[in-house]
Structure 1
Amino acid sequence: MTLTAEQIRAARAMLRMEQTQLAERADVSVETIKRLEGAQGPLKAQYETLKNIRTACEFAGVEFTDDAERPGVRLAEDRTAAFVEAMTEQFAVSFKACLETTVRRNPSLVEGPKKQLIKAVLEDVAAILKHTLPNRLPGKN
């Protein structure tokens, strides 16, 4: 995933979002946002940091164009649909990781009674809803 300093600045401007708001939603420090926005061109940073920033902007209604020659951003035509799409993608990634870990720890869940598998799945979903998604959702706690 490539993200440029210009894309972050443009996305934030389109959303009328302060650096502090983006930092909070992306779960990174304000200093990180300032440092990245102060750069030029493709950013060199931890993958997770860039992903968190991009996801926070997508949740807020910005779409990134991934054209390597002409990277850009635009407001989503339907911000609700953009939010739902970003949220669904985030949840799917988190759920897959949780489920994979659960099944690897206890392979008998796949072969055992459905009730045990359903219970494990529900516990994974509860963990995602409790711990992962609140940090990604827009708005105040």
Structure 2
Amino acid sequence: MFALRAARALVGLSQEDLAALAGVSRQVVARMERAESNVMADSIEKVRTALEASGVVFLDGTERRGPAVAMSRIGPGSAG
């Protein structure tokens, strides 16, 4: 999943760093990045939550472009 790898790059996290933040193994993060189908939904949610807490915003794909990621203009962990 390119969006996950891009999200990690935006916040400067290694697979190991992200796994530690999310409370999952590095292997889970690697499997997610390879878009393998054997990743549990709760692990996906943990990784997404960890990245969002770091300031990442996930953007849905449209007819013209695929899904994307960006950094929030509000600092990580700040209330809207």
Separation (CA, whole Å) in 1 of partners of 2:32 and 2:56: 18
Instruction: Please name the residue that 1:36 is paired with.
Output: 32
Q: What letter is aligned with 1:84?
A: S
Instruction: Please name the residue that 1:55 is paired with.
Output: 49
Q: What letter is aligned with 1:73?
A: V
- TM-score w.r.t. length of structure 2: 0.82
Separation (CA, whole Å) in 2 of partners of 1:12 and 1:62: 9
Structure with higher Rg: it is 1
Instruction: Please name the residue that 1:22 is paired with.
Output: 18
Unaligned runs of 5+ in 2: none
Unaligned runs of 5+ in 1: 86-141
Deviation at 1:84, TM superposition (A): 3.3
Write 1 or 2 for the structure with the bigger share of helix. 1
Closer, same or farther: CA 68–47 of 1 in aligned 2, 3 Å: farther
- TM-score w.r.t. length of structure 1: 0.49
Q: Which runs of 4+ in 1 moved over 4 A?
A: none
